[in-house]
Amino acid sequence: MLYVSYDEAVRAMERGLLRYLPEKEARRFAEIFAGNSLDGVLSHGMNRYPRYLSDMEKGLCDPRVTRAERVSGFGALEVWDAHFGVGPLIADQMAGRAVELAGAHGVACVSLRNNSHWLRAGRYALAIADGGMVGICLTNTCMNLAAWGTLEPSTGNNPIAMGIPRSKGSLVMDMAVSQYAYGKLELMAQQGKMLDTPCGYDCEGRETCDPAQIIKSGRMMPMAMWKGSALSIMTDLIASSLSLGRTSRMIGATAAGEKGMSQVFIAVHPASVVDMQAVEAQMEETIAFLHSLPPHDGHSVRVPGENLAQIRARGLEQGIPVAEETWSQILSAGA
Amino acid sequence: MLYVSYDEAVRAMERGLLRYLPEKEARRFAEIFAGNSLDGVLSHGMNRYPRYLSDMEKGLCDPRVTRAERVSGFGALEVWDAHFGVGPLIADQMAGRAVELAGAHGVACVSLRNNSHWLRAGRYALAIADGGMVGICLTNTCMNLAAWGTLEPSTGNNPIAMGIPRSKGSLVMDMAVSQYAYGKLELMAQQGKMLDTPCGYDCEGRETCDPAQIIKSGRMMPMAMWKGSALSIMTDLIASSLSLGRTSRMIGATAAGEKGMSQVFIAVHPASVVDMQAVEAQMEETIAFLHSLPPHDGHSVRVPGENLAQIRARGLEQGIPVAEETWSQILSAGA
């Protein structure tokens, strides 16, 4: 692992992106890659940059499209089409649109079809929370997970993200339905690490803790067995139904060919109906209580997202961790 | 286990409820207990009847209140107060209100404070789905789960339910954040069964597969470790924030004293923005694909809720399973 300064990381990635995108969009996209790593989400940050360039090269993502098109709407519900454009830029636009609509209606749902990979689900729930709203964001993905009851990759490791506005820093949960995110498996395989519990099958269908074997077989196991499987199937069908977008099945069976995801951005505006000071007071009481509990087995209770400001500050001071190989790919793409 | 006909079950429970409720409400409440068991959700059906009577007796639930009161609203977002009334009757009302509001606005969010136990989360997601809408329902509960990182019961085994409208019968997922629902643990303990994997701790803090030990220690483990814990904390804070209702912490630390839950009902109306025939066609394609997969280890892939019509038909024909002890309590309450 190298440690690179945030500004240097953004500049380096911007250079490579300028081959595909106008200056402003290249800058914003580079900031998203670097920002996800800065937030500690190493599995969905700069490590994804080389693959994204290759997706644009191969036509899986169309860099000419950086804004979605509104295709229909009724009240606080809208459907947009990303036309296979630049995933995170378009998802940012949709999170903003959800906040805007919820400001007018109290609650809003924006559904999006044909988007490219949005990188990190939590970014959009956090954006909605930072806009003062409770956010719930869903996406489907290609069939990179064995549904419970079969060994075949047959459903997506679909993340669900939730955000809660909070004066001391919004809370955010970002959770794929496997025990470990696919990007986390890749990272652990790269580092030669083993998993705590078996989270997938090898090519012979045996449960394994080796992330490299799981990536090879394409057989991740859903978290909590049937529960993760159920959550994955529902997320896929909700995201594709609300947008009339592709199902996991239509997106395909391999991570390499993933094209055109369906995504949902829900925002709810509590400040329009309840006293936010009272809400925050009881929220802080819960957080303080969770912090007061005796730790167990080397862990202590964590509230999702509560350490984000600290993680960011540390990254800005000490630099962002990047795998050497990734960094050299970033530099050569920008050369 | 006894098998009792649905009609007989409803009549027997109605008799006991008439001590607390007017005729129409007693009938509807009895139908909810019996209906949950008829749908195969034995952990949140007739087995809960004796405890609910005792909750009404003890004043944890006020049987005089069977409708919630609207306390504020803005556009498609409303806050209601249940005033500790009859949980499932009020939750039915809220699911109906969410469908009504989403019909007018495309999407709606109804949040509810101070409700009594709503029994089965899936009932309300299913009601929203049967109303033609995608439903997402959340509730918190008392602190009956050890957050990841401590052995202390410190967060709730908060369920999340999702429903999807479908001509062949709505899909519904109903998932608490422990590997097994508390009611399921009670049922398995009653039947002397052991769990597949350790899903909680005994009084000495050791992981155990014995449901009776887990109930005794009050230390259920979140599903998927830190993931279930995160989901539980977020669900609690979202439900309590949107309603300015009680947090799990405020509800209390024991199942015995659980009073005044916070609940959320979200409805989204896809038919107002997309072609539902096209949506259903691609949904059926996914379901058929999942059914076509080779089974593994004695399981085959299940789509959440797909067997509901079959389960209901079998229950109507063969009767609903009820523990003998529960049935005799039901009969004596109605005597």
pLDDT at A198: 82
Please compute, for residue B96, the number of CA atoms within 13 A of its CA located in the half-sphere on the CB side: 8
Bridge partners for B296 per DSSP: B299
Bridge partners for B253 per DSSP: none
What DSSP state is assigned to residue A226?
H
Nearest alpha carbon to residue A99 among A225, A211, A320, A266? A266
Mutate to test the interface with A, among B77, B107, B168 (most CBs of A within 10 A): B107
Buried b (16+ CB within 10 A) or exposed e, A195-205: beeebbbbeee
Question: How long is chain A?
Answer: 335
Contact criterion met (CB < 8 Å) for A233 and B290: yes
3-state secondary structure of B85: coil
Residues 6+ apart with CB under 8 A from A16: A49, A53, A330, A333, A334
Chain A residues in contact with B107 by the CB 8 A cut-off are: 75-77, 105, 107-109, 266
Among chain B residues, CA nearest to A105: B75
A253 vs B: CB within 8 A: no
CA dist list (Å): A303 to A290, B69, B138, B147, B175: 8, 32, 18, 10, 21
Which residue's entry shows tokens 């003890």? B58
Distance of alpha carbon B184 from alpha carbon B182, whole angstroms:
5
Q: Which DSSP string do the residues of A126-181 spell out, in sequence order?
A: HHHHHTTSEEEEEE---S-EEPTTBSSEEE----EEEEE--TT--EEEEE-SBSS-
Residue B149 contacts residue A288 (beta carbons within 8 Å): no
Which residue's entry shows tokens 């329009």? A272
Instruction: State phi, psi for A69 to the nearest 5 degrees.
Output: -110, 135
Mutate to test the interface with B, among A107, A128, A285 (most CBs of B within 10 A): A107
Nearest alpha carbon to residue B144 among B115, B172, B176, B119? B176
pLDDT (tens digit per residue) in B173-205:
999 999 887 778 888 998 899 988 888 999 999
Among chain B residues, CA nearest to A155: B290
| CA of residue A335 relative to chain centroid, distance | 28
A244 vs B: CB within 8 A: yes
Q: Which one of A226, A242, A282 has the shortest CB-CB distance to B250?
A: A282
Mutate to test the interface with B, among A101, A109, A272, A300 (most CBs of B within 10 A): A109
B271 vs A: CB within 8 A: no
Contact criterion met (CB < 8 Å) for A149 and B223: no
Residues 6+ apart with CB under 8 A from B287: B303, B306
Among chain A residues, CA nearest to B196: A225
Residues 6+ apart with CB under 8 A from A140: A156, A158, A235, A236, A239, A240, A246, A247, A248, A251, A261, A262, A263
Residues 6+ apart with CB under 8 A from B328: none
Contact criterion met (CB < 8 Å) for A179 and B78: no
A148 vs B: CB within 8 A: yes
Contact criterion met (CB < 8 Å) for A296 and B149: yes
CA angle, corner A317, sides to A316 and A321, nearest 5?
65
Name the active-site residue from B44, B105, B291, B296. Answer: B44
Residues 6+ apart with CB under 8 A from B28: B89, B92
Nearest alpha carbon to residue B304 among B32, B35, B39? B39
pTM equals: 0.97
Bridge partners for B174 per DSSP: B161
Nearest alpha carbon to residue B58 among B256, B252, B248? B256
pLDDT (tens digit per residue) in B1-26:
899 999 999 999 999 999 999 999 99
pLDDT digit string (tens) for chain A, length 335 residues: 899 999 999 999 999 999 999 999 999 999 999 999 999 999 899 999 999 999 999 999 999 999 999 999 999 999 999 999 999 999 999 999 999 999 999 999 999 999 999 999 999 999 999 999 999 999 999 998 999 999 999 999 999 999 999 999 999 999 999 988 777 888 899 889 998 888 899 999 998 999 999 989 888 889 998 999 999 999 999 999 999 999 999 998 665 678 999 999 999 999 999 999 999 999 999 999 999 999 998 889 999 999 999 999 999 999 999 999 999 999 999 98
Distance of alpha carbon B32 from alpha carbon B6, whole angstroms:
11
pLDDT at B254: 63
Q: Which one of B150, B247, B272 has the shortest CB-CB distance to A301?
A: B150
Structure tokens at B10: 């409803």
Bridge partners for A77 per DSSP: A74, A109
3-state secondary structure of A110: strand
Contact criterion met (CB < 8 Å) for B293 and A152: yes
Which residue's entry shows tokens 């769990």? B195
Bridge partners for B139 per DSSP: B263
Q: CA of B290, closest CA in chain A: separation in Å? A: 7
What DSSP state is assigned to residue B220?
B
pLDDT at A254: 64
Pairing of strands B153-155, B145-146: antiparallel
Pairing of strands B171-175, B2-4: unpaired
Pairing of strands A2-4, A77-81: unpaired
Chain A residues in contact with B294 by the CB 8 A cut-off are: 150-152
Beta strands in A49-92 (DSSP E): 69-74, 77-81
Q: Chunk chain B into consecutive blocks of 10 residues (it has 335) and report each block's average pLDDT, rounded to whole numbers.
A: 97 98 98 98 94 94 98 98 98 98 98 97 98 98 93 94 98 93 83 88 92 90 93 98 97 77 98 98 98 92 97 98 96 94
Distance of alpha carbon B47 from alpha carbon A277, whole angstroms:
40
Distance of alpha carbon B152 from alpha carbon A265, whole angstroms:
35
What DSSP state is assigned to residue B65?
-
Q: Amino acid identity, residue A79?
A: V
Contact criterion met (CB < 8 Å) for A241 and B293: no
pLDDT at B256: 62
CA dist list (Å): B301 to A170, A202, A218, A313: 37, 19, 17, 45
Residue B102 contacts residue B268 (beta carbons within 8 Å): yes
Mutate to test the interface with B, among A178, A233, A262 (most CBs of B within 10 A): A233
Structure tokens at B187: 């049922």
Nearest alpha carbon to residue A263 among A284, A292, A242? A242
Q: Which DSSP string do the residues of A231-275 spell out, in sequence order?
A: HHHHHHHHHHHHHT---HHHH-S-GGG---EEEEEEEE-GGGTS-
Chain B residues in contact with A77 by the CB 8 A cut-off are: 105-107, 268-269, 272-273
A292 vs B: CB within 8 A: no
Q: CA of B22, closest CA in chain A: separation in Å? A: 33
Angle, helices B324-333 vs B49-58, to 10°: value is 40
pLDDT at A255: 58
Distance of alpha carbon B196 from alpha carbon B174, whole angstroms:
20
Distance of alpha carbon A292 from alpha carbon B333, whole angstroms:
43
